[in-house]
Chain A
């Protein structure tokens, strides 16, 4: 055997058990400090924004009028009126978006996980990735070019929903896909072994198991699209009155209500802008929290 050289210690590796050299200890400490600092830096804007929106917008939210009235007849110098028209508009458009996106998204995910093999599946997955990356303004432009410029139709509430569908479908597909993949194969196999056909297995075993995860994905997707303003700028001009018809006339939404008066300097208008902002934030956060709560009760976890 090749004998190792006589035990001549490398003098830089200390023989004792004291702390490592000053430089290494200091570097370690500095890293800990920097990393903690990064966290603090990240939290500061969140607290600042939430504080701003709360402090500037909260008072109007305690007014019953805010939740029941629209802005009809209210000018920027007048106080009063509410956000009912905008809240309703946001919710209606979101509901239609969900109604269209969820079936398409869930079915596509089912295709990718349960059926798809080979080129078509890869193409579909690739396209979903592209949809994930599409900027909201481009999606809005597309719907505008199709709906308004080509078909000559008016800009109405449902056209906004169509643009939002383009943005929500990929979110639903990916989160549903994740959930379906997490359902153990043993469950499917047990079902087949009992003579249950594939479609029944999917609808009665796989989907229910993945259900709360899918719901979470949908809620998070909704939270995202509710906050989108770009499609509204292009396809959903603001209206001060209540409009429940998705197919005729302009429909207000919270982001456009905010956008409408953001350049105003008069106090009543300014206050309404922040109150609308707070309303939107609360709505989105509520969906977000609801999504996470539902995830907590899921049968399959990540």
Chain B
């Protein structure tokens, strides 16, 4: 569980507009990597290319290589649907399916993949909810609607739903930005636990969060407005936040812009 992601010379487009330029990086297995950078620099756009969600947007396309343990995700024989099963995603705003109960929400990914056996589903749901640190809070109301939980609980529900299908990688797009500080802390603790099993990539606006939670950090920036975003520097989190190599990185870290 938990694979390595290799990206080489990736360019991300919306139609003819280049949003992100020339990204080359390696994301180590079973670690937490944070993407930081100012608004609009393409971090989320780039993140979505890792599970082929970018192409859902009309005009979205990529050029370059993205590999999961040496398997090319964009090879013509590869089905995007399968990629999304293997590389899971948690979104900025919690989005449990409103017409489903808590149980059905967590089980939805499994049911889609053909798991019908009630016992297996129940086991998997419990395992996932435990894994998301939500089990004790919801175990007595699994049949209640998923939308009836608090924001932090809903987000943990979405995490449970994502890990229920046992992905190799978990992508998180600013998962705490819509949550209060207490819930944020709970999610951050969860991330630290989850990294023993999954490769985690988290986009965040909050630099303190990045330094708390991640092993490696990648800093993205725009050359100028209208220009594509690029990867400026990527290194161990410790180093990025104490002694970055690039001037731009240091300016961003110390709050001179962003």
Q: Are A24 and B82 in contact, with the CB atoms below 8 A? A: no
- Judged by a CB distance under 8 angstroms, whether B19 is at the interface is no
Q: Are A17 and B113 in contact, with the CB atoms below 8 A? A: no
Q: Are B110 and A17 in contact, with the CB atoms below 8 A? A: no
- Judged by a CB distance under 8 angstroms, whether A46 is at the interface is no
Stretch at the interface among B6-14, B124-132, B179-187, B231-239: B124-132
- Judged by a CB distance under 8 angstroms, whether A203 is at the interface is no
Interface residues in A, total, Cβ within 8 A: 19
Q: Are A20 and B113 in contact, with the CB atoms below 8 A? A: yes
CA A18 to CA B112, docked complex, whole Å: 16
Across-interface contacts of B165 in A (CB, < 8 A): 13
CB distance from A46 to the nearest CB of B (A): 28
Q: Are A4 and B82 in contact, with the CB atoms below 8 A? A: no
CB distance from B109 to the nearest CB of A (A): 9
Chain B, 74-123, CB within 8 A of any chain A CB: 77-79, 81-83, 85-86, 110, 112-115, 120
Q: Are B81 and A13 in contact, with the CB atoms below 8 A? A: no
Across-interface contacts of B4 in A (CB, < 8 A): none
Q: Are B73 and A17 in contact, with the CB atoms below 8 A? A: yes
Question: Could you say which of B71, B77, B81 has the most chain A C-beta atoms within 10 Å of its C-beta?
Answer: B81
CB distance from A109 to the nearest CB of B (A): 33
Across-interface contacts of A24 in B (CB, < 8 A): 112, 114
CA A9 to CA B168, docked complex, whole Å: 11
Q: Are A13 and B85 in contact, with the CB atoms below 8 A? A: yes
Known A-B contacts A9-B166, A10-B120; the reply to A17 vs B82 at CB < 8 A is yes
For the complex, would chain A's binding face be called helix, strand, loop or mixed by DSSP majority? loop
Residue of A nearest to B112 (CB): A24
- Judged by a CB distance under 8 angstroms, whether A12 is at the interface is yes
- Judged by a CB distance under 8 angstroms, whether B193 is at the interface is yes
Q: Are B166 and A19 in contact, with the CB atoms below 8 A? A: no
Known A-B contacts A17-B71, A17-B83, A19-B79; the reply to A12 vs B113 at CB < 8 A is yes
Known A-B contacts A1-B193, A7-B1, A23-B114; the reply to A14 vs B130 at CB < 8 A is no
Q: List 8 A-B contacts (CB under 8 A).
A: A13-B110, A13-B115, A13-B166, A16-B82, A17-B82, A17-B86, A19-B81, A19-B82
Beyond the given pairs A12-B113, A15-B86, 13 more chain A to chain B contacts, judged by CB atoms under 8 angstroms and listed by A's residue number, are: A2-B130, A4-B127, A10-B115, A10-B124, A10-B166, A12-B114, A13-B113, A13-B165, A16-B82, A17-B79, A18-B79, A20-B81, A21-B113
Give the B-binding residues of A (Cβ under 8 A).
Answer: 1-2, 4-5, 7, 9-10, 12-21, 23-24
